């Protein structure tokens, strides 16, 4: 029994020593940049590579050895834990865990997206057939109404400049929404507000990915698809795309990272691995 206790104590001591060496020096700008991207097919990635100019001849030029994080928060976690990492997320998910860099001196926030000075932004779409279900139409009207757009503009930019107040309501049933993980949070908020107004309504939001949502909406398996990228012509031939918000894509770095800002060209060169070390960025 004594031996067991000694061993346990010893191993714990070793472990404590191990974790004590956690903080190793200061930020060292000679180190590699750890690029964090999203999975192929993600609407956020599609919009980002398009806007930053990383698509050459239809091919995605993202650094082949970039860490692939399967969701917005995995990007945040990767960057928050690694002082040499850089990633991109929707500005609606920014928090104090990471720092958003100004691009060409402009910070990503709703005001700068609204006046067009922030260069990396994209619309959020919903893909739906109107005129098939009164409840679905009612919910779409709500999203585009004054009340709905007020919810949208808390974290994003409203897509409708002069929305009118919502006049519908009073229906019952379930609305099933599937699609982009980036759009899901705002539609969840919209759904909750809609449910609060209409006690007989249930809004289900499934964050399963943009393409899944659009396809299922086209196949009439669900009511509304959420998309964080523009729909392709083939998709548009089948279904209507409605812009509900504008979202800025924030380039994020670790809180310990001393870099104060990047140009759009820097961002492109970092994410395509033309620049691989932090000290090669010209401030």
Partner 1 sequence: MDKNFTTEKKYSGGKIAELLMNKVFLICACFSIAALLLITLFLIAGGMPAIAEIGFLNFILGTEWTPANRNPNFGILPMIMGSIYTTAGAILIGVPIGVFTAIFLAFMCPKPVYNFLKPAIQLLAGIPSVVYGFFGLMVLVPIIRNITWLLNIGGTGEAILTASILLGIMILPTIIAISESALKAAPKAYYEGALALGASHTRSVFKVVVPAAKSGIFASVILGVGRAIGETMAVVMVAGNQPEMPLRPFFLDGLFGGGRTMTSNLIMEMGYATGLHRESLIATGVVLIIFILIINLIFNFINRKKDPGKITLKNKMRYQIFTKWGFSRLFDKLKLRVNVKRAFIRTVDGLLKWTTWIFAALTLLALLFVIFHILSNGVAHLTPSLFEFVSNSQNQSMMPSIIATLAMVVITLTLAVPIGVFTSIYLVEYTKRGSKIVAVIRSATEMLAGIPSIVYGLFGFLFFFGFMGLGYSLIGGALTLTIMILPLVIRATEEALKAVPDTYREGAFALGSGKLRAVFRVVLPSATPGILAGVILATGRIVGETAALIFTAGTIARIPEALTDSVRTLAVHMWVLSGEGHFVDQAYATAVVLLVMVLLINTISALIARRIRKGN
Among 13, 143, 153, 207, binds partner 1 (CB under 8 A): 207
Q: In the range 246-275, which residues lie near partner 1 by CB under 8 A? A: none
Say if residues 112 and 267 touch (Cβ distance below 8 Å): no
Strands 34-37 and 85-90: what pairing?
parallel
Distance CA(139)–CA(174), nearest Å, equals 11
Say if residues 63 and 48 touch (Cβ distance below 8 Å): no
Report the 10 Å Cβ neighbour count for 185: 17
**Least Å from the CB of residue 94 to partner 1:** 10
**Under rule CB under 8 A, residue 172 binds partner 1:** no
Say if residues 213 and 125 touch (Cβ distance below 8 Å): no
Structure tokens at 124: 């959020």
Say if residues 179 and 213 touch (Cβ distance below 8 Å): yes
Map residues 3-42 to x or -, x wherever contact with partner 1 holds by CB under 8 A: xx--xx--xx--x--xx-xx-xx-----xx-x-x--xxxx
Say if residues 192 and 202 touch (Cβ distance below 8 Å): no
**Least Å from the CB of residue 81 to partner 1:** 6
Q: What is the DSSP letter of 132?
A: S
Binding range to partner 1, per CB under 8 A, among 198-206, 240-248, 253-261, 262-270: 198-206
Task: Kindly state the helix (H) or strand (E) to which residue 90 belongs, with its residue range.
Answer: strand 85-90
Phi, psi of 243 (to 5 degrees): -75, 130
Binding range to partner 1, per CB under 8 A, among 61-69, 102-110, 131-139, 248-256: 61-69
Q: In the range 102-161, which residues lie near partner 1 by CB under 8 A? A: none
Among 160, 176, 242, 281, binds partner 1 (CB under 8 A): 176
**Under rule CB under 8 A, residue 173 binds partner 1:** no
Where on the chain is the footprint of partner 1 (CB under 8 A)?
Answer: 1, 3-4, 7-8, 11-12, 15, 18-19, 21-22, 24-25, 31-32, 34, 36, 39-42, 45-46, 57-60, 64-74, 76-78, 81-82, 84-85, 93, 95, 97, 176, 181, 184-185, 188-189, 192, 202, 204-212, 215, 221-222
């Amino acid at each position: 029994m004594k031996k067991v206790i000694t061993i346990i104590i010893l191993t714990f001591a070793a472990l404590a020593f191990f974790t004590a060496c956690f903080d190793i020096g200061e930020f060292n700008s000679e180190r590699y940049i750890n690029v964090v991207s999203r999975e192929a097919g993600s609407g956020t990635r599609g919009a980002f590579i398009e806007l930053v100019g990383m698509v050459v001849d239809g091919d995605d030029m993202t650094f082949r050895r970039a860490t692939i994080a399967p969701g917005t928060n995995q990007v945040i976690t990767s960057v928050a834990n690694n002082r040499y990492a850089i990633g991109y997320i929707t500005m609606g998910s920014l928090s104090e865990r990471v720092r958003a860099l100004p691009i060409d001196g402009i910070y990503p926030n709703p005001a700068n997206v609204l006046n067009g000075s922030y260069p990396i932004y994209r619309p959020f779409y919903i893909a739906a057939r109107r005129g098939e279900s009164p409840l679905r139409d009612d919910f779409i009207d709500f999203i585009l109404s004054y009340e709905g757009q007020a919810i949208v503009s808390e974290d994003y930019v409203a897509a409708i400049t002069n929305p009118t107040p919502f006049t519908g309501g009073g229906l019952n049933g379930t609305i099933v929404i599937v699609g982009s993980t980036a759009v899901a949070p705002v539609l969840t908020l919209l759904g909750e507000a809609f449910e609060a107004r209409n006690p007989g309504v249930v809004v289900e939001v499934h964050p399963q990915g943009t393409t899944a949502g659009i396809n299922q909406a086209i196949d009439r398996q669900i009511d509304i698809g959420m998309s964080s990228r523009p729909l392709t012509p083939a998709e548009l031939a089948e279904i209507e795309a409605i812009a509900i918000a504008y979202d800025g894509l924030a380039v994020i770095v670790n809180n310990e990272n001393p870099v104060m800002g990047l140009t759009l060209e820097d961002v492109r060169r970092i994410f395509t691995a033309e620049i691989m070390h932090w000290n090669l960025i010209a401030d």
